[in-house]
Amino acid sequence: MAPKSREPFDAKIGGLSHDGRGVTRVDGKVWFVEGALPGEKVIVKPIRGKRSYSLGITETILDPSASRVEPRCAAFGVCGGCALQHLEYPNQLAFKKGSVIETFGAAGVQVPQDILQLQAEPWAYRRRARLGARLVPKKGGVLVGFRERNKSFITPLTHCPVIHPSVDPVLARMPQLIGQLSIPDQVPQIEVAAGENGTALVFRHLSPLTESDLSLLKQFAVQEGLLIYTQSKGPETVIPLDVSATPELFYTLKAFDLKISFSVTQFVQVNSAINELLVETAVDWLAPNEKDGVLDLFCGLGNFSLALARRAGQVLGVEGDESLVRKAEENASANGINNARFQARDLFSDSVLDWDPGHYSQVLVDPPRSGALDVLKNISSRLNPDRIAYVSCNPATLARDAAYLTGSGGYRLTKLAVADMFPHTAHIESAALFERSA
């Protein structure tokens, strides 16, 4: 039935959008419907109309999909953390694979017949998170949780089934802790970083903490078995409450006998099990030996570079954040690796087009969401490596860059993997191997 102004209307859902909303078409107009699954008949409540599409939410499910499941989280539907908990897990995997295939198809790139799917435990996986906090007296005090979907409000969470198990039980106790501080309205965010040797919470505060605040935080740290840091301004102001009893966090890459240390605010891949699989896959695809030089672009703290260095002759890791470059160097030396070098460079500046890093037969790129088109244009024409492994958190830019590499770049796409780094969300991590055409 066609929607009249903002009246609810019923619709049959055709597919899922890249952000996990049901898609339907009514009178030629596309509707994205929150909470609806493919095949379902639902009553849609219109929220907003744009020129080329409209947004609605599911008011009633008239005919549910066989793939619909009860979400584990009570905040599902409101919390912006997860978008797919109502979809059976195997169907989430199928949706992500299908979405990657469709994105490559739209970019005109043929995908390999076999697509690898990397999956691990889909619950309690999130080792990095940024929680919001806000004092809302009319809601009973301080709220702590992720932001609501498409809104800046905080979803109060007392339990989160996807966050690291060391943090989940603490969620319910954080509002009271912040509420007891002298500045309960001046703590907007708590960052979470879980390593294999401990879990850290970084409390961002906009006004100074008093001595009694610090002792409350210390007490909480002891009681909950957590490492607590405070942050008054930028990342350089992050300090541990107890300098003498705060070890640096680390994770391991067991297949490579690596222990990788990181500072609490530094980038690490969100899901440790999937990260291990992804690193193993990329190294397996590139299969470097001691004669090969490998260039690892957007290398962070050496996650892929150090694993590659265990097999390759030489590795050069390049990264824009100088603190990560220093950390990568420290990690190399702590792991007894002396064939990996690291360089700080802005890989998005114009000068990258003139950059000549030397000879490397293999390249790994793991860029941010915007992809790496210019870098790849330069690298493929200047270095002409035999193999390029591309790890991506955005299938759209991966497919765009793949279109270049498999077109004028002169490469074949030989492997494709979809890694479920972020189960129950609509985020898709994927990886591809490009080999120089004969």
Smallest distance from ligand SAM to CB 305, Å = 8
Which amino acid, 155?
T
Structure token digits, residue 349? 């500046």
370/408 with CB nearer ligand SAM: 370
77/302 with CB nearer ligand SAM: 302
391 touches 429 (CB < 8 A): yes
* Secondary element (H or E) of residue 171: helix 168-171
DSSP for 241-259?
SSGGG-PPEEEEEGGGTEE
Structure token digits, residue 84? 């797919």
Q: What is the rounded CA–CA span in Å between residue 437 and residue 386?
A: 9
200/226 with CB nearer ligand SAM: 200
Structure token digits, residue 96? 């992500």
Smallest distance from ligand SAM to CB 421, Å = 10
40/319 with CB nearer ligand SAM: 319
Using CB under 6 A as the binding rule, the residues of this chain from 329 to 388 that contact ligand SAM are 346-348, 366-368
As a whole number of Å, the CA-based R_g of the chain is 23
Smallest distance from ligand SAM to CB 27, Å = 41
Q: Which of 31, 229, 285, 298 binds ligand SAM (CB under 6 A)?
A: 298
> Which residue among 73, 79, 299, 393 is the active-site one?
393
- How many chain residues bind ligand SAM (CB under 6 A)? 19
Smallest distance from ligand SAM to CB 355, Å = 11
201/299 with CB nearer ligand SAM: 299
Q: What is the rounded CA–CA span in Å between residue 139 and residue 97?
A: 41
Q: What is the rounded CA–CA span in Å between residue 30 and residue 204?
A: 41
Smallest distance from ligand SAM to CB 391, Å = 7
**436: nearest Cα among 418, 408, 412:** 412
267 touches 260 (CB < 8 A): no
- Give the start-end residues of each E strand in 38-188: 41-49, 53-63, 116-118, 128-136, 141-145
Smallest distance from ligand SAM to CB 268, Å = 6
Q: Which of 300, 357, 385, 423 binds ligand SAM (CB under 6 A)?
A: 300
Smallest distance from ligand SAM to CB 394, Å = 10
Which amino acid, 274?
I
Using CB under 6 A as the binding rule, the residues of this chain from 388 to 407 that contact ligand SAM are 393
**Residue window 241-280: x/- pattern of binding to ligand SAM, with contact defined by CB under 6 A:** --------------------------xxx-----------
185/374 with CB nearer ligand SAM: 374
What is the distance in angstroms between the CA of the first residue and the CA of the last residue of the chain? 56
Distance of CA 313 to the CA centre of its chain: 30
Distance of CA 70 to the CA centre of its chain: 24
Q: Which of 282, 324, 383, 428 binds ligand SAM (CB under 6 A)?
A: 324
Q: Which residue in the block uniquely carries the two structure tokens 């950390």?
A: 327
Q: What is the rounded CA–CA span in Å between residue 331 and residue 338?
A: 11
46/300 with CB nearer ligand SAM: 300
Smallest distance from ligand SAM to CB 315, Å = 12
Stretch that binds ligand SAM, among 161-169, 172-180, 249-257, 317-325 (CB under 6 A): 317-325
Q: What is the rounded CA–CA span in Å between residue 203 and residue 422?
A: 24
Q: What is the rounded CA–CA span in Å between residue 201 and residue 191?
A: 6
102/321 with CB nearer ligand SAM: 321
Stretch that binds ligand SAM, among 21-29, 148-156, 314-322, 377-385 (CB under 6 A): 314-322
393 is catalytic: yes
Stretch that binds ligand SAM, among 46-54, 135-143, 189-197, 299-307 (CB under 6 A): 299-307
Smallest distance from ligand SAM to CB 380, Å = 18
213 touches 199 (CB < 8 A): no
67/275 with CB nearer ligand SAM: 275
Q: Which of 93, 133, 299, 315 binds ligand SAM (CB under 6 A)?
A: 299
Q: Which of 31, 146, 256, 304 binds ligand SAM (CB under 6 A)?
A: 304
Q: Which of 88, 242, 321, 330 binds ligand SAM (CB under 6 A)?
A: 321
Stretch that binds ligand SAM, among 118-126, 295-303, 326-334, 395-403 (CB under 6 A): 295-303
Residues with a catalytic annotation lie at: 393
Residues that bind ligand SAM (CB under 6 A): 267-269, 298-300, 303-304, 319-321, 324, 346-348, 366-368, 393
